[in-house]
Amino acid sequence: MTHTRVRPTWSLRSAAAVLQLLLAGLVAAPAAHALDPEVMALANRLSWGGGSPPAVSTEEYLRDQLHPPANDGLPQALQDRIATMEISRRDPLELTAQQEKLRKELAAVKGKPSYGEMHKAYNAKIRSWQQEASERSLLRSVYSQNQLKEQLVWFWYNHFNVHWRKGRVQPLFADFEESAIRPRVLGRFKDLLNATVFHPAMLFYLDNRANKAGKINENYARELLELHTMGVEGGYSQKDVQELARALTGLAPDLRPLGERSRDSRELYIFQGVRHDTGDKVLLGQTIKGRRSADEVRAVVDLIARQPATARFISSKLAKYFCCDEVSSALVDAMAETFTKTDGDIAAVLETLFTAPDFRQSLGRKFKDPMHYVVSAARVATGAGAKTDPSLLARYISQLGQRPYDRSTPDGYPITDAAWSGSGAMISRFEVASRMSRNPGDIRDSPYVRAVMSNLGPNTRAALAGASNLANWKTIFFASPEFMHR
């Protein structure tokens, strides 16, 4: 569904006109922290939304977001809260061992009266890991200064989706996000890809444990090509899928406790040479020498990452998520060219996107998915001094169909506007708006609301003017078409 929205009243043209007048000295210089509508529009897209207008130029803002400092700028209390979470302070090997222990204890009381209680306790423990992961990522999304990075953590997890509920994945998916994805979201694509290939959460989720010489399981190979790299139109053949599967044989999770390992290695994967198909492979027209080492896996991953189809597929996905459902092939070409030239530098590719005219045109018109909708509302409220309850946010997001880590299929949640703007979805969204309005915080005081008020359309302003009380005002604001877009 294309949006031919009324243009926001700020635009490059009006900003340039003001600048000209300034230079001509005919207009008094505006106050020091006046809103720059251009940077506000950019911030609404590069951040989750709902935040204060940045006090810097668009160039500086872009640079800060594409090359963020190591420090996310979270308040100390939040950093402490995150640090004490089990998923933060305990090693995934420990969590796996604990899950194993609890399962054995549960099995031992099967048929006995205590089974019911123990089963409940087991489920509660497992669920607590998902709740923690969800809280951690939502708190960061609301409070971090490095907003683009946080969006990219969501985007890349969704791209390399693993479903938290799959048995063996449960103690691992939080670490998958934290150690495989998060450190690499703005780096080189092939490094990110590699990290996911060698993480046990992925190897369990897509059944690579079952993939061995003589008994090939193609599941991971197929999704790696179709969903993670080249895309379904990428031009690989069924034979390529099989050859890739052969190359991946023997690559399995290794979650043995440290004491049981012969090496001192803390790697979470193992390459089992005896289960590996050591013949040569012909993949995408290239011969890959078979060998009994994980270097073969790295070689095929490298080959796939370098394919032009990968550059195009990844570029177009980034463009869909950050720009528009229908992306011009000229834009994809430009991004893919940057991808190829920079060996897959995600920040560079995004810079090509964010400086493109198509992108600037799209500002203010992209329909928010549930994550953006709820997180932006939370950021508006925190801007007015309210505290954020991440478990409430998770509940709203789930109600709107995008529960964190809960997409059961490897394709991840859809990233197009059309997927989230159906009639039933809009009604649910209005219901969530109504619920959010009952949380504390006079959002009229928030810098975001103050910044956008004068640019709201006449219908919205009339609706707000007629609000019966603060809660009603908030419902109307959160339900407005302007707030549905970014």
Partner 1 sequence: MVHTRRSFLATGGMAASLSVLGGQLYALAAQSAPRMLIVFLRGAYDAANVVIPVSSSFYYESRPTLAVPKERTMALDDDWGLHPSLKEPLELFWNDKRIAFVPFCGTDNLSRSHFETQDRIEYGLAHDVGSGPSGFMQRIASVMSGSKPIAFSDRLPIAFSGSINVPNFTLSPRKLAVSGRTRDVIQSMYEHDDLAPVVAQGFSVQQDVYKAINTEMRGANRGAVSTKGFELLATRVGYLMRERFNLGFVDIGGWDTHVNQGGVEGYLPKQVGSLGRGLAALAKTMGPEWANTVVIVVSEFGRTFRENGNRGTDHGHGSIYWVLGGSVHGGRMAGPQVEVKRDTLFQDRDWPVLTNYRSLIGGILQKGYGFTPAQIQLVFPSAPPADLNLV
Q: Interface with partner 1 includes 427 (CB under 8 A)?
A: yes
Distance from C-alpha of 103 to C-alpha of 183, rounded to nearest angstrom:
32
Q: Is 175 exposed, middle or buried (0-12, 13-18, 19+ CB in 10 A)?
A: buried
Residue selected from 20, 57, 123, 237 as contacting partner 1 according to rule CB under 8 A: 237
Q: Interface with partner 1 includes 124 (CB under 8 A)?
A: no
Number of residues that bind partner 1 (CB under 8 A): 55
Nearest distance from residue 252's CB to partner 1, in Å? 19
Can you spell out the DSSP letters for 347-382? HHHHHHHHTSHHHHHHTT-PBPPHHHHHHHHHHHHH
Distance from C-alpha of 214 to C-alpha of 206, rounded to nearest angstrom:
18
Only one of the segments 64-72, 300-308, 381-389, 432-440 lies at the binding site for partner 1 (rule: CB under 8 A); that segment is: 432-440
Nearest distance from residue 426's CB to partner 1, in Å? 5
Site mask for partner 1 (CB under 8 A), range 166-205, x = bound = x---------------------------------------
Q: Interface with partner 1 includes 454 (CB under 8 A)?
A: no
Only one of the segments 89-97, 109-117, 244-252, 341-349 lies at the binding site for partner 1 (rule: CB under 8 A); that segment is: 109-117
Is the Cβ–Cβ distance between 135 and 179 less than 8 Å? no
Nearest distance from residue 116's CB to partner 1, in Å? 6
Tell the residue number behind the tokens 């219901």, with chain if given.
431
Angle between helices 147-159 and 308-322 (to 10 degrees): 120
Q: Interface with partner 1 includes 52 (CB under 8 A)?
A: no
In sequence order, the 6+-apart residues with CB closer than 8 A to the CB of 397 are: 370, 371, 374, 403, 404
Q: Interface with partner 1 includes 362 (CB under 8 A)?
A: no
Only one of the segments 69-77, 282-290, 376-384, 415-423 lies at the binding site for partner 1 (rule: CB under 8 A); that segment is: 415-423
Q: Interface with partner 1 includes 108 (CB under 8 A)?
A: no
* DSSP strands (E only) in 228-311: 251-253, 269-271, 281-283, 286-288
- 149 φ, ψ (degrees, to nearest 5): -60, -45
Distance from C-alpha of 192 to C-alpha of 169, rounded to nearest angstrom:
19
Distance from C-alpha of 67 to C-alpha of 186, rounded to nearest angstrom:
8
Rg (CA), the chain: 24
Tokens of 52: 């204060």
Q: Interface with partner 1 includes 258 (CB under 8 A)?
A: no
Residue selected from 75, 116, 183, 257 as contacting partner 1 according to rule CB under 8 A: 116
Tell the residue number behind the tokens 């700020």, with chain if given.
10
In sequence order, the 6+-apart residues with CB closer than 8 A to the CB of 46 are: 61, 62, 65, 147, 148, 151, 354
Only one of the segments 82-90, 148-156, 172-180, 225-233 lies at the binding site for partner 1 (rule: CB under 8 A); that segment is: 225-233
Q: Is 117 exposed, middle or buried (0-12, 13-18, 19+ CB in 10 A)?
A: exposed
Q: Does the CA dihedral 363-367-368-369 come out positive or negative?
A: negative
Instruction: Give Cα separations from 239 to 222, 244, 288 (angstroms).
Output: 11, 9, 14
Nearest distance from residue 128's CB to partner 1, in Å? 20
Residue selected from 236, 313, 354, 359 as contacting partner 1 according to rule CB under 8 A: 236
Instruction: Give Cα separations from 329 to 227, 313, 318, 364 (angstroms).
Output: 20, 11, 13, 22
Only one of the segments 190-198, 226-234, 286-294, 303-311 lies at the binding site for partner 1 (rule: CB under 8 A); that segment is: 226-234
Only one of the segments 2-10, 27-35, 61-69, 373-381 lies at the binding site for partner 1 (rule: CB under 8 A); that segment is: 2-10
Distance from C-alpha of 288 to C-alpha of 282, rounded to nearest angstrom:
6
Tokens of 174: 């939080």
Only one of the segments 26-34, 251-259, 419-427, 440-448 lies at the binding site for partner 1 (rule: CB under 8 A); that segment is: 419-427
Residue selected from 125, 165, 291, 395 as contacting partner 1 according to rule CB under 8 A: 165
Q: Interface with partner 1 includes 119 (CB under 8 A)?
A: yes
Question: Residue 3 or residue 90: which is nearer to partner 1 going by CB?
Answer: 3
Tokens of 483: 């707030």
Q: Interface with partner 1 includes 46 (CB under 8 A)?
A: no
Q: Interface with partner 1 includes 211 (CB under 8 A)?
A: no
Only one of the segments 14-22, 42-50, 115-123, 384-392 lies at the binding site for partner 1 (rule: CB under 8 A); that segment is: 115-123
Nearest distance from residue 115's CB to partner 1, in Å? 6
Question: Residue 188 or residue 365: which is nearer to partner 1 going by CB?
Answer: 365
Residue selected from 98, 340, 361, 421 as contacting partner 1 according to rule CB under 8 A: 421
Q: Interface with partner 1 includes 469 (CB under 8 A)?
A: no
Is the Cβ–Cβ distance between 158 and 173 less than 8 Å? no
Specify the length of the chain in residues: 486
Only one of the segments 82-90, 316-324, 349-357, 406-414 lies at the binding site for partner 1 (rule: CB under 8 A); that segment is: 406-414
Q: Interface with partner 1 includes 392 (CB under 8 A)?
A: no
User: Which residue, 185, 187, 191, 127, is CA-closest to 154?
Assistant: 185
Where do contacts with partner 1 occur on this chain (CB under 8 A)? 1-6, 110-111, 115-116, 119, 163, 165-166, 226, 232-233, 236-238, 367, 399-401, 408-409, 411, 418-419, 421-428, 430-431, 433-435, 457, 459-460, 462-463, 466, 472, 475-476, 479-481, 484
